[in-house]
A and B are shown apart, each in its own frame.
Chain A
Amino acid sequence: MNAQFKKGVVEMCILKLISLRDMYGLEVIEGISKEIDVNENTVYPILRRLTVAGYFETYKEKNESGPDRKYYKVTSEGMTYLKDLVEEYQEFTSRVERIIGE
């Protein structure tokens, strides 16, 4: 799969996962990698970029077995962005489906 296309899809998946519940970095990686082959160096830059863009906000939470964890929470702008991404993706895949399904 085209790397750029994959990054876009991973970005949408990350947003979707965190919209379901707040997560820390490693949880996100494990959640995504159950279905898609990704690594830390793909997920973390997306988390940082989307945080800088204002789609995530972060907060620290105590971790009993080690140092504090940074949790990501989707902002209202992030929710709007996710909605747009999902609509675009569904529109795109339905068109592709029509082409390859023929």
Chain B
Amino acid sequence: MNKHEYLDLLEDVLRQNKVNSEEVYEILEDYRELYDGYLDRGMTDKEIKEKLGSPYNVVASLKGSMRYEKRPTKLSEKLIAISPFVALIVFFIFGFSYDLWHPAWLVFFLIPVSAIVFSMKENIWSVMTALSPFIAVSFFILYGHYTGVYHPTWMIFLIILGFAFLTMEEKRKYLYLALLVLASGGYLWIGYTSGVYGLSLLLFLPLLVTLIYYGHVEIKVIGDYRSPVGVVAIISIIIYVIGGHFFDLWGVLWLLFFAIPVTAIILGEKGKKKYISIAPFVSVTIFFLLGYFFDLWEFSWLAFLLVPMVGIFFGDE
């Protein structure tokens, strides 16, 4: 690496780190002069690079002493930032004025929903896939709460799968979607006409077999963290259906489905970040259990404070 290559790379690294343009110019000028000074003293390019350190090391050691570009905050970022306050205000209004702590807590979904809507740059189906868990939980809770019909309302969670199919690149996605719609329709029709839901779950078998056949559901146990997630998903569904069917716990056992993303986070994320990612699920679980079993909705919202607390405790800076 000669002087020009060294300085070009240094400039690139400085710009990648969003260092102020004036500061970039001054740093480059200083290092150009320094490089020339060492060349004057008879040092080779290799020796100079060893003495100065790589451009990456230079920028790393200059961190904290440089001025950075100031970027105006976008409206979308401001909206994301105020969403927790809006959610809390709405939650308190419904809670204190109408004693609707439950299901008004759903308004906290505004926080992740606004982040997804305003920050995701992917196509519409990817955005809808990210939004679908919140849409499904909201519908499930609202409809279940006001009608008492949690089963088969839980089927709304299948929209997550439906939107996930639509994000696929391959043409077979329409086949998967058709099988999902047919199975769901058939399951509901048999259930409503005969009152027996159990065996009609077999209608989802063609979809499952097709997904396995085309390699979308991997039957592997060792060496791939997606497999434990799949196992947790299947166990969650089994417990949910059994608990709901025999003990009428449709209204609370849906929390089991949090085990799926939580398992994926525990196995997939490294370091302390996983605690921050898990915190919202833990908060909702504590909040919902205290409210559902002890009717403590007006106090259990405090569980949501766990989210910023964990963020502060385990966050980087």
Chain A minimum-CB-distance residue to B66:
A45
Instruction: Give every chain A residue within 8 A of B51 (Cβ-Cβ).
Output: 40
Q: Are B62 and A66 in contact (CB under 8 A)?
A: no
Chain B proximity mask over A4-27: 1 for CB below 8 Å, otherwise 0: 000000000000000000001110
Min CB distance A70 to B, Å, is 6
Within the complex, which residue of B32, B38, B58 is in contact with A67, where a contact is CB–CB below 8 Å? Answer: B32
Q: A26-B34, A40-B52, A41-B58 are in contact. Are A70 and B29 (CB under 8 A)?
A: yes
Give the shortest distance, in Å, between A46 (CB) and chain B (any CB).
8
Residues of A within 8 A of B33 (CB): 24-26, 67, 69-70
Residues of B within 8 A of A70 (CB): 29-30, 33
How far apart sit A25 and B31, CA to CA, in the bound complex (Å)?
A: 9
- Encoded as 1 (CB less than 8 Å from any A CB) or 0, chain B from 61 to 91 comes to 1100110000000000000000000000000
The answer to whether A41 touches B61, judged by C-beta atoms less than 8 angstroms apart, is yes
User: Given the complex of chains A and B, what is the CA–CA distance between A81 and B36 in angstroms?
Assistant: 31
Q: A25-B30, A25-B33 are in contact. Are A65 and B40 (CB under 8 A)?
A: yes
Number of interface residues of B (CB under 8 A): 22
For A66, give its contact among B36, B53, B66 (CB under 8 Å): B36
Cβ-based interface call for A95 (8 A): no
Give every chain A residue within 8 A of B34 (Cβ-Cβ): 25-26, 29, 40, 44
Known: A25-B30, A70-B29. A41 touches B36 (CB 8 A): no
Alpha-carbon distance between A67 and B33 when the two chains are bound, in angstroms: 8
- Cβ of A83 < 8 Å from any Cβ of B? no
Point out the residues of chain A lying under 8 angstroms from B30, CB to CB: 25, 44, 47-48, 70
Residues of A within 8 A of B52 (CB): 40
The complex places the Cα of A85 from the Cα of B40 at a distance, in Å, of 34
Tell me the dominant secondary structure on chain A's binding face: helix
Residues A26-43 near B (CB distance < 8 A): 26, 29, 40-41
Given contacts A26-B37, A65-B40, A66-B36, contact A45 B29 (CB under 8 A): no
B242 close to A (CB within 8 Å): no
A47 vs B30: C-alpha distance when bound (angstroms) = 10
What are the residues of chain B within 8 A of A48 when measuring CB–CB?
A: 23, 26-27, 30, 65
A35 to chain B, nearest CB (A): 19
Residue of A nearest to B36 (CB): A66
Say whether B175 faces chain A, with CB atoms less than 8 Å apart. Answer: no
Given A25-B30, A67-B32, the answer on whether A41 and B62 have CB atoms closer than 8 Å is yes
- Which A63-92 residues sit within 8 Å CB-CB of chain B? 65-67, 69-70
A25 partner residues in chain B, CB cutoff 8 A: 30, 33-34, 37
Closest residue on chain B to residue A67 by CB atoms:
B36
Q: Once bound together, how far apart are the Cα atoms of A69 and B66, in whole Å?
A: 22
Chain A residues whose C-beta falls within 8 Å of the C-beta of B39 in the assembled complex: 66
Q: Please report the C-alpha to C-alpha distance between residue A49 and residue B62 in the assembled complex, in whole angstroms.
A: 12
Q: Return the chain B residue nearest A70 by Cβ.
A: B33
Query: Given the interface contacts A25-B37, A40-B52, A66-B40, does A45 sit within 8 Å of B32 by beta carbon?
Result: no
User: Interface of A with B (CB < 8 Å)?
Assistant: 24-26, 29, 40-41, 44-45, 47-49, 65-67, 69-70
Q: Which 4 A-B pairs give the minimum distances between C-beta atoms?
A: A45-B65, A26-B37, A41-B61, A66-B36
A sample of 21 cross-chain residue pairs with beta-carbon separation below 8 angstroms, ordered by A number, consists of A25-B34, A26-B33, A26-B34, A26-B37, A26-B38, A40-B31, A40-B34, A40-B51, A41-B53, A41-B58, A44-B27, A44-B30, A47-B30, A48-B23, A48-B26, A49-B65, A66-B39, A67-B33, A70-B29, A70-B30, A70-B33
